[in-house]
Amino acid sequence: MNLILRPVAAEFSKILTTRMWWILALVLFGYIALIAGGLSALFGGLQNGSISPDAVNTGGGADLSTLGTLPPLIYSFAASVGYVFPVLLGALATTGEFRHQTLTPTFLATPKRGRVLGAKTIALFAMGAALGVVGLAASVGIGALVFSGFGIDPLLADGETWGLIGRTVLAMAIWAVIGVGLGVLVPSQVASIVIVLAFTQFIEPLLRFASTFTQITADIGKFLPGAASDALVGESFFTLASPGGALLTSWQGGLVLLAYGLLATVAGYFISWKRDVT
């Protein structure tokens, strides 16, 4: 048991003895709090009439009042917007080992390299879940507060809300595993960060949007990691904003997302992790 527990404890220690985890947690909280707070105030104001619908440009799209139940939508921002943070944490944890040449002392202490990568995956899964809790503290905490202010039921007594919260934590945990996988696939830290930002902020949203144009591409588009994540969580602003987009079921989405993380990690193990450390 020590054979895996010790490396896992060491991986936690690596993350917690540098500043990156709490910087990311802080920015995640602020970012989600801003979006969740702002949009819940906007929608809350629209719903109770304190903001006139005429004052808002809805882009000719769906009437805001039909966007489903508001609170789960706002709460889901923790994952649908915040998922880039666990990916970054995972990618930095892995690429940092290459960049700072800490693979040398790591592999000297634990020569079984697969064990080290497994330990890192487990530790980052837990750290991703923790980031999920931070993101939810912002989206649910701030969102529910604002909804209550507008006299809208924040649905905190609803079992479905808590289901969403649990699935969000799981999604964020898996995203951190995807980050580890990306980090071993692309050990260059700069390249990894650029890929994370470009893919999550630009390429994937574009692909998901474009895939909704035909039925065939939509069937492929629902397997994109972001779409799989939204399917797992069950609510997302993005899926509501592109009504043509198809989604997997929740458990399918979770499995697809996990497959991305594990496949990338296993491929990365052979591409970079097993290589000579020079």
Part in contact with other proteins (CB under 8 A); list of ranges 35-43, 53-61, 109-117, 235-243:
109-117
Q: What's the closest the beta carbon of residue 266 comes to other proteins, in angstroms?
A: 19
Q: Does residue 100 bind other proteins (CB under 8 A)?
A: yes
Q: Tell me which of 96, 179, 245, 261 binds other proteins, using CB under 8 A.
A: 96
Cα separations in angstroms, 168 against 37, 136, 139, 157, 175: 18, 8, 11, 17, 10
Helix, strand, coil in percent for the chain, rounding step 5: 75, 0, 25
Q: Rg for the chain (alpha carbons), in Å? A: 20
Per-residue interface string for the shown chain with other proteins, residues 259-278, x marking contact by CB under 8 A: -----------------xxx
Tokens of 177: 């595993």
CB closer to other proteins, 12 vs 77:
12
What's the rounded Cα separation, in Å, for the pair 194 and 94?
15
Q: Does residue 23 bind other proteins (CB under 8 A)?
A: no
Q: Does residue 27 bind other proteins (CB under 8 A)?
A: no
Q: Tell me which of 48, 50, 102, 201 binds other proteins, using CB under 8 A.
A: 102
| 277 touches 107 (CB < 8 A) | yes
Tokens of 96: 């940092």
Q: What's the closest the beta carbon of residue 14 comes to other proteins, in angstroms?
A: 5
What's the rounded Cα separation, in Å, for the pair 26 and 15?
15
Which residues contribute to the site for other proteins (CB under 8 A)? 2, 6-7, 9-10, 13-14, 17-20, 96, 100-102, 104-112, 276-278
